[in-house]
């Protein structure tokens, strides 16, 4: 039986927005303001990985006469959240990969190849950074700010408001930032030495199945999300959206369990925020503002002693 479980809004959205008049004010790839190849080469020298050129999920099935990849794999894995989140251009909900022009024409890359016979880029970002470190993200943010680019942040792509994608955008992909550090006597930076927490620090790309497995080794559990395969991101938009959990009636929301957050601001500045350092930003980051304030690079959460849990799911269509 296939069960799709309701989980919270995910993934830090882009720092980019539209202006108050509703007109797009940021540069996209179809405009002359878009950086030249040599400017992107310059960015390439500042990041640890090759720049990425995300493609829609079904792109391997095209061109239909001579598919670029294994379409059987695409068909077999189409609803697998972990498979989707492993690709920078793949969104959890395929509608966010499609774009509708003002005249009503839809540009998409359908799994059903008979609909258009071409794979349209739609809303999938066109280029970006495969971030592995704080420095990679800083380089991406500084580049986007310098060129006034439409920037999106994608971790898993689970965002049900579509903020992990934007047509003609530049993406900072945090999926491969997988560090997990467990510390049973964690002290927040700037806090008193006797204020300790049994805590775990998760980098931005860690997904819940990885976080649960990591703390389980120490007999601990966490207030986190559930989904088929555990593919929801643990230190991204789930937290930015409040962080609902089956453990919330007992231990509170995700935001109540975050002790410290590291974040890169639009200035490129890297800050560690908690109740002792930059408490206003720490408060804001736990206020449901999505990616408004910056790109979160890691989150430190409380852990709790492991207990047996039974839960029941009800689904209505
Ligand atoms: C395509 O992938 C499927 C499973 O995902 C596999 O069985 C098949 O051998 C692959 N085909 C090619 C040509 O690699
Ligand atoms: C895709 O699906 C096939 C068949 O279900 C499975 O064997 C394979 O591991 C999946 N590939 C990925 C990358 O998840
Ligand atoms: C709608 O607009 C797009 C973008 O300008 C264009 O490519 C497409 O041909 C138009 N479709 C129709 C039916 O006019
Ligand atoms: C694929 O699209 C074609 C054309 O719209 C439609 O006739 C067909 O039923 C679709 N196939 C599937 C499996 O949805
Ligand atoms: C991940 O951990 C390694 C080893 O401790 C460290 O060198 C690296 O800087 C960490 N990366 C991030 C993004 O925190
Ligand atoms: C930490 O030490 C201070 C000063 O001795 C004390 O006032 C405070 O209650 C202690 N806090 C904890 C959590 O033990």
Domains of the chain: 38-173 (3.30.43.10), 180-305 (3.30.465.10)
CB of 73 sitting under 6 A from ligand 1: yes
Taking the centre of ligand 5 as the mean of its atom positions, its distance from the CA of residue 179, in whole angstroms, is: 6
Question: Distance between CA atoms of 297 and 85, rounded to whole angstroms?
Answer: 17
Identify the pLDDT of residue 11: 31
Mutation probe of ligand 2 site: the residue of 60, 73, 75, 111 with most atoms within 8 A of C-beta: 73
Q: DSSP for 133-172? A: SHHHHHHHHHHHHHTTB-EEEESS---TT-TT--TT-EEE
On whether the CB atoms of residues 274 and 191 are closer than 8 A, the answer is yes
Whether 68 is in the pocket of ligand 2, judged by its Cβ within 6 Å, is no
How far is the C-alpha of 27 from the C-alpha of 150, rounded, in Å?
A: 6
Measured from the Cβ of residue 61, the count of other Cβ atoms closer than 10 Å reads 23
Q: Identify which of 26, 236, 34, 204 has the alpha carbon closest to the alpha carbon of residue 130.
A: 204
By CB atoms closer than 10 A (0-12, 13-18, 19+), residue 62 is buried
Do residues 274 and 190 lie in contact, with contact meaning Cβ atoms separated by under 8 Å? Answer: yes
Closest CA to 89 of 130, 50, 135: 130
Whether residue 103 has its Cβ less than 6 Å from ligand 3: yes
In angstroms, what is the span from residue 203 Cα to ligand 5's centroid? Answer: 9
Residues near ligand 4 (Cβ within 6 A): 112, 114-115
Q: Which of 64, 202, 203, 76 is nearest to 131 (CA)?
A: 203
Q: Report which of 56, 51, 27 is spatially closest to residue 41, judged by C-alpha positions.
A: 51
CA of 117 to the centre of ligand 3 (A): 17
pLDDT band at 7 (very low <50, low <70, confident <90, very high): very low
Segment 37-79, tens digit of pLDDT = 999 999 999 999 999 999 999 999 999 999 999 999 999 999 9
What pLDDT does 24 receive? Answer: 54
Please state, for a pLDDT cut of 90, what percent of the chain lies above it. Answer: 85
In this predicted structure, what is the pLDDT of residue 44?
98
**Predicted structure pTM score:** 0.89
How far apart, in whole angstroms, are the C-alpha atoms of residue 82 and residue 77? 9
Question: Going edge to edge, which strands form the sheet with 127-130?
Answer: 127-130, 170-173, 151-154
Is 200 within 8 Å of 183 (Cβ atoms)? yes
Which listed ligand is nearest to 191 at the C-alpha? 6
Give the pLDDT band of residue 290 (cuts 50, 70, 90).
Answer: confident
Q: Which ligand is nearest to the CA of 135?
A: 5
Phi, psi of 260 (to 5 degrees): -155, 145
Using DSSP's 3-state secondary structure scheme, residue 57 falls into: helix
> pLDDT digit string (tens) for 148-182?
999 999 999 999 899 999 999 999 999 999 999 99
């Amino acid at each position: 039986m296939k069960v799709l479980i309701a989980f919270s809004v995910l993934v830090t959205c882009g720092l980019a927005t539209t202006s108050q008049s509703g007109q797009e004010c940021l540069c996209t790839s179809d405009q002359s303001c878009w950086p030249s190849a040599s400017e992107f080469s310059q960015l390439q020298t500042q990041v640890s990985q090759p720049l990425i050129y995300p493609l829609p999920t079904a792109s391997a099935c095209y061109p239909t006469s001579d598919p670029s990849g294994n379409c059987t794999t695409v068909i077999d894995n189409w609803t697998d959240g972990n498979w989707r989140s492993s690709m920078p251009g793949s969104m959890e909900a395929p509608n966010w990969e499609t774009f509708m022009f003002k005249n009503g024409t839809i540009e998409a890359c359908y799994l059903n190849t008979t609909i258009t016979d071409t794979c349209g880029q739609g809303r999938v970002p066109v280029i970006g950074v495969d971030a592995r470190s704080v420095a990679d993200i800083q380089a991406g943010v500084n580049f986007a700010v310098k060129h006034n680019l439409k920037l999106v942040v994608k971790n898993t792509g689970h965002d049900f408001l579509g903020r992990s994608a934007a047509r003609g955008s530049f993406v900072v992909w945090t999926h491969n930032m997988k560090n997990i550090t467990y510390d049973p006597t964690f002290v927040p930076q700037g806090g008193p030495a006797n204020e300790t927490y049994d805590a775990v620090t998760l980098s931005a790309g860690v997904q819940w199945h990885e976080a649960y497995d990591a703390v389980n080794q120490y007999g601990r559990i966490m207030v986190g999300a559930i989904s088929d395969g555990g593919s929801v991101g643990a230190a991204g938009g789930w937290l930015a959206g409040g962080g609902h959990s089956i453990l919330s009636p007992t231990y509170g929301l995700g935001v109540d369990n975050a002790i410290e957050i590291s974040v890169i601001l639009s200035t490129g500045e890297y800050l560690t925020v908690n109740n002792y350092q930059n408490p206003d930003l720490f408060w804001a980051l736990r206020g449901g503002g999505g990616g408004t304030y910056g790109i979160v690079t890691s989150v430190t959460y409380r852990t709790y002693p492991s207990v047996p849990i039974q839960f029941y799911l009800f689904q209505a269509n």
